[in-house]
Structure formats: structure tokens, C-alpha cells
Amino acid sequence: MDSPRNGAPVRTEAHTAPGRESLLNKIGELRAEISQLQEAVVSHAAVDQAIGVVVTLGGLRPDQGFQVLREVSQHTNVKLRQVSEQIVDWVHSEQLSDEIRAALDKALATVRST
């Protein structure tokens, strides 16, 4: 309690409204979900762009391009999103790690032979 006003003590502790804590928890959950969705959109865009690169590079169909990316990811133990980002960056920088490049060449050869 703080100094009295007109002789009556004044309470200044935070008053918690019923359900306020659950609302704050829900807001936190929604913020986390928004963050995850934003990351998914960025990741999806990178994968789509990389599919385009692989399709163009190998003269493949889009489903085959995704298959190639998936194989590269599995054989290099690098997340699909990261493989995709490296392939998209490769178009601009002309640099691709030897491991990704070898796995890409192998996956392209496999898909072309089927």
C-alpha cells in the first residue's frame, strides 16, 4: 500500500484480471506459431527456387527436381532447406561445396536413367 489519498490507503499492486494469464499464454503460443509459419514460407520459397534450378539444369519435370533435392539432402545429411539455399546461391556465386555437387551429379544421373 502506498501513501493514503483522502485518508484512505491506496493499493498499487498489479491486479490480475481473471483469465489474463491464459490470454498471455495464448498470445505467446500464437507468436511462436506465426514465427514458425514465417520460417516455413521462406523455406518453401527456397525449395521451390532450387527445384527450378535443378529442373533447368537437368531438363527434368518438377517432381523429378524435388526428388533430386531430396536425394541430395539424404545422401549428404544436410537439411533439404539448406541444400536448396546452397543450390540457389550457387546460381549467383558459382560456388557449391564438393559434397553437395557430387551428390547433385549422382542424383541427376539416377533420375535421368529412370
pLDDT tens-digit series, residues 57-69: 999 999 999 999 9
Please indicate, yes or no, if residue 11 is contained in any of the structural domains: no
Per the CB < 8 A criterion, the answer to whether 50 and 93 are in contact is no
Please indicate, yes or no, if residue 26 is contained in any of the structural domains: no
Per the CB < 8 A criterion, the answer to whether 81 and 114 are in contact is no
Using a pLDDT cut of 90, give the percent of the chain over it: 56
As a whole number, the mean pLDDT across the chain is 86
pTM, entire model: 0.69
Please indicate, yes or no, if residue 15 is contained in any of the structural domains: no
Please indicate, yes or no, if residue 93 is contained in any of the structural domains: yes
Count how many domains the chain has. Answer: 1
Please indicate, yes or no, if residue 67 is contained in any of the structural domains: yes
Please indicate, yes or no, if residue 38 is contained in any of the structural domains: no
Domain that holds residue 92: 47-112
